[in-house]
Amino acid sequence: MDHLVKQYGKTVAVGDISFSISEGEIFGIIGPNGAGKTTMVECISGLRTPDSGSVSIYGLSPQKDRDRIREFLGVQLQESAMPPRLKVGEAVELFASFYPDPMDPNDLLETLGIQNVKSSVYKTLSGGQKQRLSIALALVGNPRIAILDELTTGLDPEARRETWALIESIRDSGVTVILVTHFMDEAERLCDRLALINHGKLAVLDTPEAIAALAGGSRVRFVPSQPVEDKTLYAISGVAEVERKERYITVTGTGDLAASVINSLERIGVHVSEIEARSGNLDDAFVKLTKEGTSKARGTAQS
Amino acid sequence: MTSAKDDSKGGIYQGRFGELLKVEGKLALREPTGIGMAIGAPIIFVIIFGLIGIASPGNVPNTNYTVLDLYVPVIMVISIIFLGVAFLPVTLVKYREMGWLRRVSVTPVHPSRLLAAQLVVNLALALTAVLIVIFGSELIFGAALDVGILYFVLSLVLTIAVVFSLGLVVAALAPSQSVTTALTGGLTFLMLFLSGLWIPPATVGGPLATIMYYSPSGAAVQALLNSVFNSAPPYTALLTMVVYTCVFAFIATRYFRWE
């Protein structure tokens, strides 16, 4: 995908969002429920027509060139069931017949670990098996772009991990993946870049690490060999905040915090023990950013 | 994947219709109500009216027909109503409600092809039912039918067209599965009444008989009754079905939603 620019002024769901996704990356779209994530991917997949603005995929419009785009776009929809008496194998073979150059249905079922339920009907499948079947239908057409909405909702931890590995292998084979999720660990683990959507606005677009750093960055807790003054600690580059609890000192800040704290203190002859470092996590960033958005939105509503 | 069966539309891949048809056919056969309506209903009705015919032999008063003769077209129309008005819209609305039509619409294949496959499958079931009625009543109960092929084909095509298009109107307008079930239930009952299942229009007489003659199912019965005894179906019956089909088809195509 060379450039996917998209701007539309639909006040309710999605308002004026622009970004581009590069070929071969896993692009995550995260945001709280009702943020407009699904509406956005529906515009990308051509299920919805934006009120204004446009989407361009390889120079084609999902609305005008619907038919062309569908040949290389695989979509997994949230909340889409299948006929209850349809068998797993039949579903995958049927969808393979929809595409000009499909994958081998049996290989795909094998990879997804649902080969053993090939002749089971849809209604008897477990939540995880249904989810995998739905992923299979999105991938069977050998897409160049796969849109996966709420990929691992309803999967057990082991199945989630397997699915993640599968998505990475799809990306490694050159497929661009657009992943809609509200699981931070999933976004952190899989995505090359992340767009955080809140109230239909693009709150931030960056790598998961950079977004995590927005949460206030890393946190280092340690016990110094001799008392250290706050002043000394604040002088260390990257340190933003210092807290003390009993003999522990906790500093939060940005950059390679643990290393700079240890080095600076060693230089003045203070040894550091019981070090516990934690890098900023996406969860914190998510909560922080969505809260900011909410309070801002409330402000506008009142004025 | 470039077999001769590939259907293309302006160079855009449209999938293989045969595969879709095969899957929809299998699904219909796995659905107990589908089989019950297509195969079970005509068998049961032929047996019931066949036995009534044996219990009261001879012609029905004021007509030249036996009870079974008179009911052969009614049973055909009933079977087609069960499929077209009850089974077809319920399946389509279910597909729409569960997001299956929407799921198909994000593939290169337009969901209208799924609808087409559904129509073909139901058509095949309807023809099976018609054959069961004809051969069952002739071979087992000795109905003396004299099918005028051209008349019959014409009447049957119009009957299926009018009943299926009415079913599509329900599929287009019904907002949910539960509403569809209620609607198709009421509509099926009404259509069965108008077809003369309980009281034939000739017995009813008066304005109600006129209403029955000019209803979709009543007109279908008139046309089929004439053609299974090799006489020309009344053109009013044929015209009635054509007009209803046009109106129903217009409403259905105008209001059908894919999601």
Q: Is residue A303 part of a domain?
A: no
Q: Residue B91 — very low, low, confident or very high, per pLDDT cuts 50/70/90? A: very high
A160 lies in the same domain as A230: no
- CB-based contact A81 B99, cutoff 8 Å: yes
Q: Is residue B73 part of a domain?
A: yes
A111 lies in the same domain as A229: no
CB A272 within 8 A of CB A223: yes
Closest A-chain CA to B19 = A94
Distances (CA, A) of A198 to A6, A188, A212, B83: 16, 18, 16, 48
Closest B-chain CA to A143 = B107
Question: In percent, how much of chain B has pLDDT > 70?
Answer: 93
At which of A210, A232, A263 does a domain end? A210
CB A154 within 8 A of CB A81: no
Chain A positions in Cβ-Cβ contact with residue B109 (cut-off 8 Å)? 98
Residue A302 has pLDDT above 50, yes or no: no
Chain A positions in Cβ-Cβ contact with residue B16 (cut-off 8 Å)? 97
- In this complex, which of A83, A85, A141 lies closest to B107 when CB atoms are compared? A141
Kindly state whether B11 is in contact with chain A, defined as any CB-CB distance less than 8 angstroms: no
Q: Is residue A260 part of a domain?
A: yes
The whole-number pLDDT of residue B118 equals: 93
Chain A positions in Cβ-Cβ contact with residue B108 (cut-off 8 Å)? 67, 70-71, 98-100, 141
Q: What is the mean pLDDT of residues A198-203?
A: 77
A83 lies in the same domain as A169: yes
The whole-number pLDDT of residue B198 equals: 85
The whole-number pLDDT of residue B8 equals: 47
Q: How far is A118 from chain B (nearest CA, A)?
A: 15
Query: Between these two residues, B198 and A256, which has the higher pLDDT value?
Result: B198
Other CB atoms within 10 Å distance of the CB of residue A24: 15
Which CATH number characterizes residue A186's domain? Answer: 3.40.50.300
Distances (CA, A) of A21 to A28, A177, B248: 10, 9, 47
Contacts of residue B216, Cβ cutoff 8 Å, sequence gap at least 6: B162, B163, B166, B191, B194, B240, B241, B244
Report d(CA A23, CA B145) in Å as an integer. Answer: 69
Highest mean pLDDT: which range of A98-107, B103-112, B150-159: B150-159
A113 lies in the same domain as A235: no
Chain A positions in Cβ-Cβ contact with residue B95 (cut-off 8 Å)? 83
Q: Is residue A12 part of a domain?
A: no
Total-model pTM: 0.79
Q: Is residue B151 part of a domain?
A: yes
Q: What is the pLDDT of residues A207-244, one digit of tens each?
A: 887 777 776 667 788 888 888 778 777 777 777 778 78
How many residue pairs from chains A and B have C-beta atoms closer than 8 A? 75
Q: What is the mean pLDDT of residues A4-26?
A: 66
- CB-based contact A98 B102, cutoff 8 Å: no
Chain B positions in Cβ-Cβ contact with residue A141 (cut-off 8 Å)? 107-108
- CB-based contact A99 B107, cutoff 8 Å: yes
3-state secondary structure B117-151: HHHHHHHHHHHHHHHHHHHHHHHHCCCCCCCCHHH
Residue A44 has pLDDT above 70, yes or no: yes
A248 lies in the same domain as A121: no
Residue A10 has pLDDT above 60, yes or no: no
A34 lies in the same domain as A64: yes
- CB-based contact B98 A100, cutoff 8 Å: no
The whole-number pLDDT of residue B171 equals: 94
CB A151 within 8 A of CB A183: no
The whole-number pLDDT of residue B205 equals: 78
Q: Residue A182 — very low, low, confident or very high, per pLDDT cuts 50/70/90? A: confident
Q: Residue B214 — very low, low, confident or very high, per pLDDT cuts 50/70/90? A: very high
- CB-based contact A71 B108, cutoff 8 Å: yes
Query: Which of residues 199 through 228 in chain A touch B, CB cutoff 8 A?
Result: none
Distances (CA, A) of B166 to B21, B191, B218, B248: 22, 11, 14, 6
Residue A99 has pLDDT above 80, yes or no: yes
Q: Is residue A291 part of a domain?
A: no
The ipTM estimated for the assembled molecules is: 0.84
The whole-number pLDDT of residue B3 equals: 41
Q: How far is B223 from chain A (nearest CA, A)?
A: 37
Q: Residue B150 — very low, low, confident or very high, per pLDDT cuts 50/70/90? A: very high
Q: Residue A11 — very low, low, confident or very high, per pLDDT cuts 50/70/90? A: very low
At which of A210, A232, A265 does a domain end? A210
- Residue bearing tokens 């950013």: A289
A180 lies in the same domain as A126: yes
Closest B-chain CA to A134 = B103
Domain count, chain A: 2
Q: Which of A38, A68, A94 to mutate to test the interface with B (most CBs of B within 10 A)?
A: A94
Distances (CA, A) of B24 to A84, A139, B103: 12, 22, 15
Q: Is residue B6 part of a domain?
A: no
Q: Residue A3 — very low, low, confident or very high, per pLDDT cuts 50/70/90? A: very low
Chain B positions in Cβ-Cβ contact with residue A71 (cut-off 8 Å)? 12-13, 108
Using the 8-state DSSP alphabet, how is residue A247 labeled?
T
For A203, the enclosing helix (H) or strand (E) is strand A201-206
- In this complex, which of B13, B23, B104 lies closest to A71 when CB atoms are compared? B13
CB A149 within 8 A of CB A38: yes
Q: What is the mean pLDDT of residues B29-47?
A: 85
CB A252 within 8 A of CB A216: yes
Q: Is residue A196 part of a domain?
A: yes
- CB-based contact B108 A82, cutoff 8 Å: no
Residue A294 has pLDDT above 70, yes or no: no
A32 lies in the same domain as A173: yes
Residue B6 has pLDDT above 50, yes or no: no
Domain of residue A64 covers 26-210
Q: Is residue B8 part of a domain?
A: no
Which CATH number characterizes residue A269's domain? Answer: 3.30.70.980
Q: What is the pLDDT of residues A48-88, one digit of tens each?
A: 877 777 788 887 887 788 778 888 889 888 777 899 999 99
- In this complex, which of B1, B95, B259 lies closest to A102 when CB atoms are compared? B1
Q: Residue A301 — very low, low, confident or very high, per pLDDT cuts 50/70/90? A: very low
Domain count, chain B: 1
Residues constituting chain B: 259
Domain of residue B22 covers 16-255
Kindly state whether A101 is in contact with chain B, defined as any CB-CB distance less than 8 angstroms: yes
Point out the least confidently predicted range of A276-290, B68-82, B107-121. A276-290
Pairing of strands A248-253, B12-13: unpaired
Q: Is residue B242 part of a domain?
A: yes
Point out the least confidently predicted range of A76-90, A252-266, A289-303. A289-303
Residue A298 has pLDDT above 50, yes or no: no
Q: Is residue B3 part of a domain?
A: no
